[in-house]
């Protein structure tokens, strides 16, 4: 899987060389390239923004640098197997299903905007050539797309075979299909008693059936309290 990031702050993506994703890069499972969008500017000030047509506050990212970056990175031939992910506050919510689908992609280009956003013609042009996903990390406002791209990257790449040491752990996570899309149950480790708090007895019983039942009940109760929207049968 090749991941490209178009951004005016490429240093944001230096962290992808650390930990699990770093190992995936070292193992050749993932190939990461961060690009400074100003590479595709031609004026002395390396300008990437301009005033919004129709007025309004702030600045909008000019289309030209993006178009020239697309030309260099992707060429002009349409290829629906290339996924262009555009983090945006107006995007559809990024969910585990999106991460799962994108984990099968061979190529993902993240377009990280700043200012008030990217000239919409960039999205229109990209949509004619590649598979475009306008996605939002959540219902809050960030200053740009980089942090969202990092979070989406981790959610996607950890699902790629060979990246996680123990793929079985994926099936027991919140939002996973094996968990019926419910929140994950509380987890514990040693010691059995810590500062007056004990590990639930059932988890120390060695009775796998009772443990599985307790975990299912915990998941449903936690989901009922915190995320009733995830419950389908109530
Ligand atoms: N994904 C995602 C996001 C963003 C986001 C993403 C890309 C850009 C580019 C520019 N901005 C700043 C901005 C633009 C317009 N309105 C408000 C702020 C961004 C925010 N904010 N919140 C999220 N969940």
Q: What is the CATH number of the domain that holds 197?
A: 1.10.1270.20
pLDDT in the model for residue 19: 84
Ligand 1: centre distance to CA 137 (Å): 9
139 belongs to an annotated ligand binding site: yes
Domain that holds residue 172: 166-228
What is the pLDDT at residue 20? 77
Strands (E) in the chain, as ranges, are 2-7, 31-36, 49-50, 60-61, 82-93, 107-111, 131-136, 193-194, 197-198
Same domain, 6 and 79: yes
Q: What whole-number distance in Å separates Cα of residue 192 and Cα of residue 42?
A: 64
CA 221 to centroid of chain Cα atoms: 27
**What number is the ipTM of this complex?**
0.99
**Mutation choice for ligand 1 from 58, 89, 93, CB with most ligand atoms inside 8 A:** 89
Nearest to 5 by CA among 149, 204, 186: 149
Q: Are residues 43 and 102 in the same domain?
A: yes
Shared domain for 103 and 218, answered yes or no, is no
Q: Which residues pair with 6 in a beta bridge?
A: 35, 111
Question: Is residue 234 in a domain?
Answer: no
Q: What is the pLDDT of residue 178?
A: 66
**β-strand partners of 134:** 86
**Predicted pLDDT at 165:** 77
Q: Where among 99, 125, 156 does a domain terminate?
A: 156
Judge if 55 and 103 occupy the same domain: yes
Rg of the chain in Å (alpha carbons): 22
Query: Looking at the structure, do residues 104 and 175 belong to the same domain, yes or no?
Result: no
| Residue 220 neighbours by CB under 8 Å, 6+ apart | 182, 231
Let me know whether 35 and 129 are in one domain. Answer: yes
Q: Examine the domain organization and report whether 77 and 126 are in the same domain.
A: yes
* Whether residues 126 and 86 fall in one domain: yes
Are residues 144 and 195 located together in one domain of the fold?
A: no
Considering the domain architecture, whether residues 140 and 200 belong to the same structural domain is answered as: no
Quick one: pLDDT at residue 91?
A: 98
Measured CA to CA, the distance from residue 60 to residue 53 in angstroms comes to: 9
Ligand 1 atom at minimal distance to the Cα of residue 115:
10
Per-residue pLDDT of 20-29, as tens digits, reads 788 999 999 9
pTM: 0.94
Regions in the chain scoring below 50 on pLDDT: 234
80 is a domain residue = yes
**Mutate which of 5, 112, 145 to test ligand 1's pocket (most atoms within 8 Å of Cβ)?**
145
Coil, helix or strand at residue 34? strand
**Same structural domain for residues 103 and 203?**
no
Distance in angstroms (rounded) separating the CA atoms of residues 46 and 209:
63
Q: Is 77 buried (19+), middle (13-18) or exposed (0-12) by CB count in 10 A?
A: exposed
In a domain, 15, yes or no: yes
Rounded distance between C-alpha atoms, residue 219 and residue 182, angstroms: 6
- 233 lies in some domain: no
The number of domains in the chain is 2
To which residue do tokens 């960039």 refer?
122
Q: Say what the pLDDT of residue 171 is.
A: 64
User: Cα separations (Å) of 135 from 45, 87, 126?
Assistant: 31, 5, 15
Residues 134 and 178 in one domain: no
- Residue ending a domain, among 156, 187, 219, is 156
């Amino acid at each position: 899987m090749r991941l490209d990031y178009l951004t005016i702050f490429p240093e944001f993506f230096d962290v992808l060389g650390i930990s699990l994703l770093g190992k995936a890069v070292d193992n050749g499972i993932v190939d990461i390239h961060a690009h400074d969008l100003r590479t595709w500017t031609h004026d002395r000030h390396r300008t990437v923004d301009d005033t919004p047509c129709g007025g309004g506050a702030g600045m909008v990212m000019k289309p030209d640098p993006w178009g020239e970056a697309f030309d260099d990175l992707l060429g002009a031939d349409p290829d629906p197997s290339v996924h262009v992910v555009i983090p945006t506050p107006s995007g559809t919510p990024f969910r585990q299903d999106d991460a799962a689908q994108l984990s099968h992609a061979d190529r993902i280009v993240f377009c990280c905007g700043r200012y008030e956003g990217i000239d919409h013609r960039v999205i229109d042009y990209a949509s004619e050539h590649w598979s475009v996903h306008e996605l939002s990390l959540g219902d809050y406002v960030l200053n740009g797309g980089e942090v969202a791209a990092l979070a989406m990257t981790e959610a996607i790449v950890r699902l790629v075979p060979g990246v996680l040491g123990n793929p079985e752990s994926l099936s027991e996570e919140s939002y996973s299909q094996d968990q019926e899309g419910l929140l994950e149950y509380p987890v514990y480790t040693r010691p059995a008693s810590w500062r007056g708090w004990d590990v639930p007895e059932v988890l120390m019983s060695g009775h796998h059936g009772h443990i599985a039942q307790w975990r299912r009940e915990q998941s449903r109760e936690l989901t009922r309290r915190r995320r009733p929207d995830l419950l389908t049968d109530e």
